[in-house]
Amino acid sequence: MSCFRAENLSLHFGGLKAVDSVSFAVEKGEILSIIGPNGAGKSSIFNLISRLYEPTSGRLYFEDQDITEEPAYGIAKLGIARTFQNIELFENATVLSNLLVGRHRHSTTTLWQELLFLPNVRRDEKAHRRRVEQVIDFLDLAAHRDKLISGLPYGVRKVIELARALCTEPKLILLDEPSSGLNVEETDDMSFWIRDMKTELGITVLMVEHDMTLVNRVSDRVIALNYGKVLAMGTPAEVQAHPDVVAAYLGT
Ligand SMILES: Nc1ncnc2c1ncn2[C@@H]1O[C@H](COP(=O)(O)OP(=O)(O)O)[C@@H](O)[C@H]1O
Ligand SMILES: [Mg+2]
């Protein structure tokens, strides 16, 4: 059973085929990277999976369950989390608050229970905080936990966005350009976090990335896209040596 599968997935904006009949599967426990020039349709695929966009046609499956009609909140509940190409955090809240928000999908209590603060609410709250503290440890964020997001350097915010996604305890994580805006050293760290997510947390990773050093370092397999179509699929070396991929990159 694959972790996630897209079948003949298409997304049209008027006459523009942003995603054009794309099929691929992400196996459980693998790191699969999507590469391709600007405008190739990479972010669109993520937006289709997280249900920000409706596919023009095609189907999406998570653990063999058809999720094409599932609403965005249903996707999160199933265990799919994502980060964004442009960081989306609450700027005027602390790191800890931002991470507690990430726990939302695991809340089983009702509003009334929360208002009355019944025992199961307290249990939930404790479990939330425990998981958040684990993620803070895992990503080495202890020094920042009580700071406001707005005062933190970009590289740290990027890790916090990752942390927030991890707090939902996802089975599948979608990372949109995890290295964008990071310097060489920060990109290095990011590659370790991504590998550790796979090996230590057992999370399946689907990643869009343009930094080929990072792609080569972490990916089990790579998909190259151009103009919404799959050009090549295989190991990082196979895909980068593919003549269509070479041509697509030289042409831009
Ligand atoms: N909301 C939208 N409306 C119209 N066109 C869009 C929209 N989102 C993306 N596109 C277009 O779809 C194509 C693929 O975009 P995108 O998925 O963002 O590419 P990538 O992430 O690979 O750079 C581009 O031509 C882009 O301009
Ligand atoms: Mg993009």
Q: Across all residues in the chain, what is the average pLDDT?
A: 90
Q: Count how many domains the chain has.
A: 2
- 135 and 21 fall within a common domain: no
Instruction: Single out the residue in 122, 150, 168 at which a domain terminates.
Output: 168
| 25-67 pLDDT, tens digit each | 999 999 999 999 999 999 999 999 999 999 999 999 999 999 9
Q: What is the pLDDT of residues 207-241, one digit of tens each?
A: 999 999 999 999 999 999 999 999 999 999 999 99
162 and 194 fall within a common domain:
no
Confidence of residue 156 (pLDDT cuts 50, 70, 90): very high
Of 168, 186, 206, the residue that ends a domain is: 168
pTM for the full predicted model: 0.90
Q: Whose CA is nearest to atom 26 of ligand 1?
A: 39
The model's pLDDT over 84-110, given as tens digits with 9 standing for 90+, comes to: 877 788 899 999 989 987 665 555 555
Is residue 39 within 6 Å of ligand 1 at its C-beta?
Answer: yes
Nearest to 101 by CA among 118, 84, 81, 115: 81
Same domain, 196 and 237: yes
Alpha-carbon distances of 220 from 38, 135, 172, 213, rounded to whole Å:
23, 24, 15, 13
Give the position, in ligand 1's atom list, of the atom nearest the Cα of 46: 17
Helix (H) or strand (E) holding 234: strand 229-234
Distance 228 CA to ligand 2 centre (A): 12
- Are both 74 and 13 inside the same structural domain? yes
Q: Which residues contact 77 (CB under 8 A, 6 or more apart)?
A: 105
How far apart CA 15 and CA 50 sit, in angstroms, is 23
Q: How many helices (H) and strands (E) does the chain have?
A: 10, 10
Same domain, 72 and 187: yes
47 in the same domain as 12: yes
- Identify whether residues 201 and 159 lie together within a single domain: no
The H-or-E segment that residue 3 falls in is strand 2-13
| Residues 149 and 176 grouped into a single domain | no
- Ligand 1 atom nearest residue 47's Cα: 17
CA of 39 to the centre of ligand 2 (A): 7
The pLDDT value recorded for residue 73 is: 84
Q: Is 11 in the pocket of ligand 1 (CB under 6 A)?
A: no
Q: Are residues 230 and 217 in the same domain?
A: yes
Nearest CA to ligand 1 atom 27: 39
Q: Is the pLDDT of residue 252 over 60?
A: no
Q: 187 and 137 in one domain?
A: no
Q: Tell me which residue range forms the domain holding 9.
A: 1-79+170-252
